[in-house]
Amino acid sequence: MITKEELILRQEQCHELFRKGGIFITPAEKSQIEIADFGLGDFERLGLGVLVYVNTDRCCAKELAMLPGQTCPEHLHPPVGTEPGKEETFRCRWGKVFLYVEGGPTPNPACRPPEGGENAYTISHEIALNPGEQYTIFPGTKHWFQAGPQGAVVSEFSTRSTDENDIFTDRRIARVTRIANS
């Protein structure tokens, strides 16, 4: 859970990252940036800002803003109904992001899972994305990612997004952020 004051502060931070990444968003969009903390209440370490541009029955596009060293926890996108699960392409626009996917473990990876929750990170095949580099994740495969020391701005192009169906390795996680009423 985060407070409304923190929500506004974090949206400002994400807006500044988008600005650095050359991404122009409208004032209305700024107030729509989702501050995803995965219900863990530790946004600076575990979280990301998400601006959904479009999400129809067939396709979706988002902009992601990540603070320095921030982690999006390990998860996968399972089949939903008759659909094979979400397919997504991450394109780094600014900064650097390290993506971890299924495959042989990378020796000496650049990132470590956030301290205290290491058990919820089971894969370590590293894909480093600099600006202009991208990678496609196919349905049903685990992945997590962490921003480099400056943070990162990442565009996500995908099939329909249904975050509520995502399966996180860390079972404490609730994908939908709760905002305090105060």
* Binding positions for its own copies, rule: CB under 8 A: 21-26, 29, 53-54, 56, 58-61, 87, 89, 91, 93-94, 131-134, 136, 155, 157-159
Report which of 40, 47, 39 is spatially closest to residue 14, judged by C-alpha positions.
47
Q: How far is the CB of 22 from its own copies (least distance, A)?
A: 2
In 55-82, which positions are buried (b, 16+ CB within 10 angstroms) versus exposed (e)? beeeebebbbbbbebbbbbbbbbeeeee
* Closest to its own copies by CB, 26 or 119: 26
* Closest to its own copies by CB, 109 or 134: 134
- Give 32's DSSP letter: T
Distance (Å, rounded) from C-alpha 4 to C-alpha 10? Answer: 10
Q: How far is the CB of 159 from its own copies (least distance, A)?
A: 5
* Closest to its own copies by CB, 3 or 136: 136
Q: How far is the CB of 169 from its own copies (least distance, A)?
A: 25
* Closest to its own copies by CB, 21 or 47: 21
Rg over alpha carbons for the chain, rounded to the nearest Å, is 15
